[in-house]
Amino acid sequence: MNGGNHLSNIGSYEKRIKNFNWDIAKDVLDWKDGELLNIGYICSDRICNRGDGEKTALIWEGFGDKSAKYTFNDLRIYSNGFARFLKEEGIEPGDRVCIFMDKIPSLYFSFLGILKLGAIAQPLFSAFGDESLEVRLASAGTKAILTTRKHVRKVRKIQDRLPDLQKIIVVEGDRSKLKDGEIYFDVENSPVVEEFDVYHSEPETPSVLHYTSGTTGQPKGALHVHNSIWGQALTTSWVLDLRDDDIYWCTADPGWVTGTSYGIIGPWSLGATQCVLDSGFTSARWYKFIQDNRITVWYSAPTAIRALMKDGNELVDDFELTSLRFLASVGEPLNAEAVIWSGEVFDGLKFHDSFWQTETGSIMITNYPGMEIRPGSMGKPFPGIKASVLDLVTHEPVNEPGKVGLIAFRPGWPSMFRRYWNKPDIYRSKFVGASGTAMPDELRTNPDLWYVSGDRASIDKDGYYWFVGRDDDVINTGGHLVGPFEIESALVEHEAIAEAAAVGKPDEVNMEVVKAFVTLKPGFEPSDDLELDIMNFIRKRLSPLAMPQEIEYMDKLPKTRSGKIVRRYLKALEWGEEVGDISTLSDE
């Protein structure tokens, strides 16, 4: 394969650590003070201005024979098109505009267009059902939604309950099937918008709002700002090692943060060519996509890698994959077997695992190009990131190699989320040492605090981090976090269910899948058909990710004496772990 001779962008990790400051990101982008700091502009107009307007920005393939290529100049004019259209529709800076579509080209154009207008892009996973969609649009007070004919039906079901949602815009499909009040806008068949007066955003101007799940309550919107680009650009350069002649593929959907930080902002801020495959997963299709497009750098997820492993080594030999030179992974911990497997089948190339989350906005801990990979390890903190694991009880940094604690970071890196949308108390709760009244701006700039990620790890004697698990009940399935509360709330809306608990259970490919424990209302009996009905009920309301893959009927759920369901107990049983202190469980 194509590895080996290239001197990596990061060079020596140790030297970078010693001489680090975030202004290096400006050098990487050849940034001059006084330039316009707007992500939409930087990823399109700025690349054109430096003379790369005709360079390919996006190689897109859909299901079947559909394919298209777009240059950076195309990105520029189509994002201008969306920006002007939205402006004419009354969208103003600061308004939340949801992008709810599959990975079609308009998703990428509109994302940049929304940012050029100064509005806030709110991408949501298109497989979300109407209830998941409603919760997130209501929380954000979203003013407009950009969607497709395929997904607009879900919007129609909930629009009457969303008073802030003023514009429903359909960007492709048969316009004759739209309902009254819906707007059609096909940017590629609209007049070209050569010029758009891009919003003069400040570093702290909000840019992207990604929703993420927690243990309690409904999902929270993590708000990012235009200044995040320094973290995203520098990590794309140093961790993913992108250079001018690379063909890059990030397999993530922009409904999740990886798909925007590393599927849009990072690569395009550097002027890299990237590929998008909008098609169902099969191993053969993925290998063919790499082969046909001569992909060199591939950023994927453990779930997909394990699914590829499952399909065997012989399939890999059916394809010409020698273009690959660098592989990386994110989403959940990449098991050692998968790292070793990739080295065997991809001619010595091993996946470099990375750790970060919606809130961090960019890669925090990772294995670097040129550095020894310890299979199963998350790697080491990115230069400029002050990381530690904190004692589970005292919240003091752990100094003992191998001792498990909470992964934590000193605040202040550029891509850090600025707040949870309308939830200052929850934001505050993420910081160890915060005063009870501190507001988000104080918290995110206080170098004496620790931002706690919600994950547990240990650090070995050489400084490598080793993931242990979540510190809460959030379920990590297929690399995506699913909140048990959201699932349980939906479960009890089913006519047969009286009470419900949702936990993660181990899964060979997805790390965890959802398992539900339910008690039934009088008049309902457990059956296989009822189980299937409940599964489909959740799949359609929330998402396929949230669908329980197993449902266990119970006479009663374990509760505390105060009546709270004890998920911890159920989860411990699923994982074969010690159930711990159960003295507080009710005897009822």
Partner 1 sequence: MDDMKEKVLEYIIDEYLDEDDEDDVSYDSPLISSGIVDSFSMVSLKRFLENKYSIKLSDEEATPEAFDTVDSICRLVSKHLG
Q: Which is nearer to partner 1, 149 or 410 (CB)?
A: 149
The DSSP call for residue 334 is P
Q: Which whole-number Å values give the CA distances from 310 to 282, 307, 319, in the listed order?
A: 11, 5, 17
State the Cα–Cα distance between residues 206 and 95, nearest whole angstrom: 10
Q: Does 545 bind partner 1 (CB under 8 A)?
A: yes
**Among 420, 355, 428, 426, residue whose Cα is nearest residue 385:** 355
Only one of the segments 192-200, 343-351, 542-550, 575-583 lies at the binding site for partner 1 (rule: CB under 8 A); that segment is 542-550
Q: Which whole-number Å values give the CA distances from 295 to 1, 91, 274, 343, 527, in the listed order?
A: 11, 38, 9, 17, 48
Only one of the segments 23-31, 113-121, 272-280, 448-456 lies at the binding site for partner 1 (rule: CB under 8 A); that segment is 272-280
Query: CA dihedral in degrees (389, 391, 394, 396; nearest 10)?
Result: -40
Which residues does residue 397 pair with via DSSP β-bridges, in sequence order?
390
Contact 532, 585 (CB under 8 A): no
Shortest distance, CB of residue 30 to partner 1, whole angstroms?
Answer: 39
Compute the residue count for the chain.
588
**Binds partner 1 by CB under 8 A, chosen from 89, 391, 531, 552:** 531
What x/- string results for residues 69 through 108 when contact with partner 1 is judged by CB under 8 A?
Answer: ---------------------------------x------
Q: Which is nearer to partner 1, 273 or 477 (CB)?
A: 477
Q: Which is nearer to partner 1, 129 or 267 (CB)?
A: 129
Q: Does 547 bind partner 1 (CB under 8 A)?
A: yes
Q: Which amino acid is at 171?
A: V
**Binds partner 1 by CB under 8 A, chosen from 89, 188, 278, 391:** 278
Only one of the segments 224-232, 379-387, 465-473, 525-533 lies at the binding site for partner 1 (rule: CB under 8 A); that segment is 525-533
Chain residues 2-61 in contact with partner 1, contact rule CB under 8 A = none
Q: Which is nearer to partner 1, 115 or 475 (CB)?
A: 475
Q: Which is nearer to partner 1, 529 or 555 (CB)?
A: 529
Shortest distance, CB of residue 535 to partner 1, whole angstroms?
Answer: 5
Only one of the segments 30-38, 162-170, 253-261, 534-542 lies at the binding site for partner 1 (rule: CB under 8 A); that segment is 534-542
**Binds partner 1 by CB under 8 A, chosen from 2, 8, 215, 279:** 279
Shortest distance, CB of residue 478 to partner 1, whole angstroms?
Answer: 7
Contact 318, 285 (CB under 8 A): no
**Binds partner 1 by CB under 8 A, chosen from 495, 532, 560, 564:** 532
**Binds partner 1 by CB under 8 A, chosen from 150, 288, 294, 568:** 150
State the Cα–Cα distance between residues 374 and 379, nearest whole angstrom: 7
Chain residues 293-322 in contact with partner 1, contact rule CB under 8 A = 307, 311
Q: Which whole-number Å values give the CA distances from 214 to 210, 221, 427, 467, 533, in the listed order?
A: 13, 11, 12, 19, 26
Q: Where are the beta strands (DSSP E) in 87-186?
A: 96-100, 120-123, 144-147, 167-170, 183-184
Only one of the segments 36-44, 235-243, 276-284, 456-464 lies at the binding site for partner 1 (rule: CB under 8 A); that segment is 276-284
Exposure class string for 201-235: b at 16+ Cβ within 10 A, else e: beeebbbbbbbbbbeeebbbbbbbbbbbbbbbbbb
Contact 551, 516 (CB under 8 A): yes
Shortest distance, CB of residue 545 to partner 1, whole angstroms?
Answer: 6
What x/- string results for residues 463 through 492 when contact with partner 1 is judged by CB under 8 A?
Answer: --------------xx--------------
Shortest distance, CB of residue 307 to partner 1, whole angstroms?
Answer: 7
What x/- string results for residues 423 through 462 when contact with partner 1 is judged by CB under 8 A?
Answer: ----------------------------------------
Only one of the segments 33-41, 85-93, 111-119, 543-551 lies at the binding site for partner 1 (rule: CB under 8 A); that segment is 543-551
Q: Does 65 bind partner 1 (CB under 8 A)?
A: no
Instruction: Residue 481: count other Cβ atoms within 10 Å of its Cβ.
Output: 21
The DSSP call for residue 167 is E
Shortest distance, CB of residue 284 to partner 1, whole angstroms?
Answer: 8
State the Cα–Cα distance between residues 365 and 354, nearest whole angstrom: 6
Q: Which amino acid is at 300?
A: S
Q: Does 280 bind partner 1 (CB under 8 A)?
A: yes
Find tokens 């998968």 and name the residue.
338
Q: Which tokens is 516 given?
A: 């539900």
Only one of the segments 149-157, 338-346, 396-404, 451-459 lies at the binding site for partner 1 (rule: CB under 8 A); that segment is 149-157
Q: Does 285 bind partner 1 (CB under 8 A)?
A: yes
Exposure class string for 84-98: b at 16+ Cβ within 10 A, else e: bbbbeeebeeebbbb
Q: How far apart are the first and last CA of the chain?
A: 63
- The size of the interface with partner 1 (CB under 8 A), counted in residues, is 30
Q: Does 63 bind partner 1 (CB under 8 A)?
A: yes
Q: Does 529 bind partner 1 (CB under 8 A)?
A: yes
Q: Does 516 bind partner 1 (CB under 8 A)?
A: no
**Binds partner 1 by CB under 8 A, chosen from 281, 318, 400, 584:** 281
SS3 136: helix
Q: Which is nearer to partner 1, 242 or 277 (CB)?
A: 277
Contacts by 130-134 with C-beta closer than 8 Å and gap 24+?
130/154, 130/155, 130/157, 130/158, 130/540, 130/541, 131/158, 131/490, 131/541, 131/542, 132/486, 132/541, 132/542, 132/543, 132/546, 133/100, 133/158, 134/158, 134/161, 134/162
Point out which residues bind partner 1 (CB under 8 A): 63-64, 102, 127, 149-150, 153, 177, 278-282, 285, 307, 311, 477-478, 528-529, 531-532, 535-536, 539-540, 544-545, 547, 549
